[in-house]
Amino acid sequence: MLKDIHINMELAKGSKSEYIIRDRLGITIGRINIIYISTENKYCHSKIKFYRDDSQGIIYLKEAIKIFIEHLFRDKKIYKVNISADEDICTRPFIDLGFILEGIIMDSIYYNNLRKSEILFGINYNIYGNLNTTNILRIKSNNINLKILTPDDSMDLLHYYIKNKKHLEPYEPKREDSFYSIESQHQVLMENYKQFISGTAACFGVYKDKTFIGKIQISGIIYGIFKSGIVGYSIDKEYQGKGYMKEALGKIIEYAFNEMNLHRLEASTLIDNKRSQFLLKSCGFKEIGINEKYLFIDGQWKDHITFYKIKNK
């Protein structure tokens, strides 16, 4: 039996690969199935199903993952571990333990007449236990921090959009009422996460201290002979005009050119959005011209001014 403070795990009766996760009251709260294990390759692929999603359940989930992988590393002499989980699972316990999100297994679950995907996490023996490991990309700056948004950030994004609904309406697509729900934001962030993994986009949250104040993203990323991406951003109405988005954009430019090895960035603003145009110019973007009826914003096709920035040699 494997034990921690709040939970214990043991093999299901008659099984050599299915572990039952129970709390201190003996209630089953999850299962881990070993799908494949190779002593020759020192590799294990497992699948976890967890039944609690409250704050205490997140603690239990982290303990279960921790004692399971320690068992594999210590007792089974495994070097590399992959764990797949339902797309709705909280990713924070995996990240805290040093896991890297390695992929999405598309449409692999059929439940309640819906197709759902699985998230694939990975970790190896050398990485495990290194508390300084940061597997969700973070970029630090003087006054703000940037972090790749994950499905765990759904509530932050929902509050942001509800608070800034009127503020953002003139600049963004017309939203259905269903958009302002935790389910919708979770789905949006899951799609963003898939794009981040595939290398076609990177959506960051902008944080002042620990407060979510905006978002900035590079989308439409194309490599090959183009090596280009499109930048978009928005900021909380209470934090605009304080230089935070300029700081965020500066960091995104550095990341795009130095880490992603992009050659060109593009951004577009509404004709009358002078504040955004000034921001782009202050960060070295140059004006190309007007794109007629470029984006469907606030229920209409609207003209935009397009800007670009080239990586300095």
Residue 196 pLDDT level (bands cut at 50, 70, 90): confident
Calpha distance 313→48 (Å, rounded)? 47
Average pLDDT over residues 183-187: 90
- Asked if residues 153 and 205 have their Cβ atoms less than 8 Å apart, the reply is yes
pLDDT band for position 293 (50/70/90)?
A: very high
Place 263 in a pLDDT band, splitting at 50, 70 and 90: very high
Q: Where are the alpha helices (DSSP H) in 147-181?
A: 154-163, 165-168
pLDDT of residue 162: 97
Name the segment(s) of the chain with CATH classification 3.40.630.30. 2-124, 138-310
Q: Is 205 helix (H, G, I), strand (E, B) or coil?
A: strand
Closest to 171 in 3D by CA, of 246, 248, 274: 274
Q: How many CB atoms lie within 10 A of CB 225?
A: 7
The confidence band for 198, taking pLDDT boundaries of 50, 70 and 90, is confident
In words, the CATH class of domain 138-310 is alpha beta
What CATH number belongs to 2-124?
Answer: 3.40.630.30
pLDDT at 199: 86
Distance from C-alpha of 9 to C-alpha of 24, rounded to nearest angstrom: 11
Mean pLDDT score across all residues of the chain: 92
pTM above 0.75, yes or no: no
> What is the model's pLDDT at position 313?
67
